[in-house]
Amino acid sequence: MDDLSIFQDKTIVPTDKDLASRLGTTFNLWIQIKDFVFEKYPKAIAEWNYSGIKYGWNFRIKDKKRAIIYFLPRDNYFKVAFVFGQKATDTIMDSDVSREIKNDLEQATKYAEGRGIRIDVKENQILADIEKLIEIKLAN
């Protein structure tokens, strides 16, 4: 299934070497996004998390209370995921983020913690939107 982590073994925490071999050319995009978060929020905490047999390993960067961004490794690409509260959602809707991302956010189910979206990262054209989303997440 496409929406499962490529890292399923609970006993083996993925390494950068594992990521590089499985993500291919998108590994550099993973590093760029990760570095961008730490540039904007140096106190962030990065950690691998095993979400159970259904989902496998994912990587998240968080502040003290909440996740800033999730990285979901797939075969030769990865997804990033965000959860946005109403204030951040409103900011995104008023921004120049792509219409596709805005549509996904509008259609996302609203939960107490906010609306969650996932974005495929397969090429560098999406980086500008992801960086804007990170900045909005950190500001709200």
Contact 63, 45 (CB under 8 A): yes
For residue 28, the enclosing domain spans: 16-139
What letters, b where the CB count within 10 A reaches 16 and e where it falls short, cover 14-50?
beeeebeebbeebbebbeebbebbeeebeebeeeeeb
Report residue 90 as tokens: 């409103």
Contact 82, 133 (CB under 8 A): yes
d(CA 112, CA 88): 14
Q: Is residue 7 part of a domain?
A: no
**pLDDT per residue over 9-28, tens digit each?**
888 999 999 999 999 999 99
pTM above 0.95, yes or no: no
Q: Is residue 1 part of a domain?
A: no
CATH number, domain of 122, equals 3.90.1150
Q: Is residue 29 part of a domain?
A: yes
Q: Is residue 128 part of a domain?
A: yes
**pLDDT per residue over 74-100, tens digit each?**
999 999 999 999 999 999 999 999 999
